[in-house]
Chain A
Amino acid sequence: MAPVKVFGSAAFTNVARVLVCLEEVGADYEVVDIDFLAKEHKKPEHLAGNPFGEIPAFQDGDLVLFESRAIAKYVLRKHRTDEVDMLRESNPEEAATVDVWAEVEAHQYSKAVAPIVYECIVYPTAYGIPTNQKVVDESVEKLKKVLEVYEGRLSKQEYLAGSFISVADLNHFPFTLRFMETAYASVFDSFPSVKAWWEKLMLRPSMKKVSADMQRKV
């Protein structure tokens, strides 16, 4: 079976999200760099894979996918085993809880964390745009409220969806890693269960490998 292809390097948070899942299931994959600064993602060849001109695109044989969280689910579903089951789709209650916390990541957590990462890291380094401190401050306050909820949950159970790791936990990885590179990383210190959950995630071989890949410049 040919390795699947991921278009875009690990330096992109949304690519890293997919790579973590591929690593978790031990799938063969190939990363194809997309030259962001040369706007390669807006060119016809890439648009054939991601018609919205974004990164990543993904190819498995003649199946072409985009939207990193959809790609992640596909990978985890395809390679599901009894030992590695990140979606729990054969158990309706567990699957529903996984879905809730995957949505929380996408709509509550990332909405707070992503602006901090963009303002503090991406805009200054990739575009030379100065940090909008107002956006950062508002986002940090939002994040604290979200982390209060996470703390309540993770003080009672090991992972977000229960006693088992799932895609809901994995999806937090890329933006959180970047967030920890900003001056606001210490926000997590006030949420000890969340901090412990993050540190435990970072011990996973998949996270270590993709973290190293993410250190490459865009």
Chain B
Amino acid sequence: MAPMKVYGWAVSPWMARVLVCLEEAGAEYEFVPMSRNGGDHRLPEHLARNPFGEIPVLEDGDLTLYQSRAIARHILRKCKPEFLGAGSLKESAMVDVWVDVDAHQLEPVLKPIVFNCIINPFVGRDVDQGLVDESVEKLKKLLEVYEARLSSNKYLAGDFVSFADLTHFSFMRYFMATEHAVVLDVYPHVKAWWEALLARPSVKKVIAGMPPDFGFGSGNIP
């Protein structure tokens, strides 16, 4: 069977979400680097793969997939279904809940912090400090809920590690590289959960391709 192909750039948090799942699955895959600066994602060749002109894209045989969470689910369903709680109505529901919490609660709050604090200074855009401050306050409220959850459960979906935990990694990685990382210090269970994620071999491998400044400092932008 031909290895899966994944297209994009490794610094992207959406790409990293997929790469972590490929690594956890122990799947054979080929990484096809694309240039964001060169506009590779807007070329007809890529639009034929993903009409929304985004990355990552996964090719698995005849199947071409986009949207990082859909790609991740496919990989896990195929190679590590227990990470989706497959076979258990309750476990799969809890995985789905916390994957969506990341998507609809946490990521919308982390994204403005990461983009303003890390990227904007490099690309000559103003830092919207008001938005950053507002987002940090919102984040604290969210972390209270995560703290409560992780105080009574080892992992987000319950006592088993799952896609719900893995899906959080990539945006958290960049948030934790900002000056606001200290926010986690008052949420000890969240901090411990985060450190446990960082210790996973899959995460260590993927983080190597994710410099905390998205590669801007070294001029190594995709």
Task: Spell out A's residues near B (CB within 8 Å).
Answer: 51-52, 63, 65-67, 69-70, 73-74, 77-78, 89, 92-93, 95-97, 99-100, 102-104, 106-108, 146, 149, 152-153
Task: Spell out B's residues near A (CB within 8 Å).
Answer: 51-52, 62-63, 65-67, 69-70, 73-74, 77-78, 86, 89-90, 92-93, 96-97, 99-101, 103-105, 142, 145, 148-149
CA distance A42 to B149 in the complex (A): 18
Which residue from chain B places its CB closest to the CB of A102 in the assembled complex? B70
Q: What 4 A-B pairs come out closest when comparing CB atoms?
A: A103-B67, A70-B96, A99-B70, A67-B100
A70 touching B52 in the complex, CB below 8 Å, given contacts A52-B142, A92-B77, A99-B69: no
Residues of B within 8 A of A51 (CB): 145, 148-149
On whether the beta carbons of A96 and B93 are closer than 8 Å, the reply is no
Which residue from chain B places its CB closest to the CB of A69 in the assembled complex? B100
User: What is the count of residue pairs linking A and B with beta-carbon distances less than 8 angstroms?
Assistant: 80
Residues of A within 8 A of B65 (CB): 96-97, 99-100
What is the minimal beta-carbon distance from B181 to any residue of chain A, in angstroms? 22
On whether the beta carbons of B97 and A67 are closer than 8 Å, the reply is yes
Residues of B within 8 A of A52 (CB): 101, 105, 142, 145
CA distance A146 to B67 in the complex (A): 14
CA distance A92 to B62 in the complex (A): 12
Pick the residue among B62, B63, B89 that contacts A78 (CB under 8 A).
B89
Residues of B within 8 A of A103 (CB): 67, 69-70
CA distance A125 to B148 in the complex (A): 35
On whether the beta carbons of B52 and A108 are closer than 8 Å, the reply is yes
Residues of B within 8 A of A73 (CB): 92-93, 96
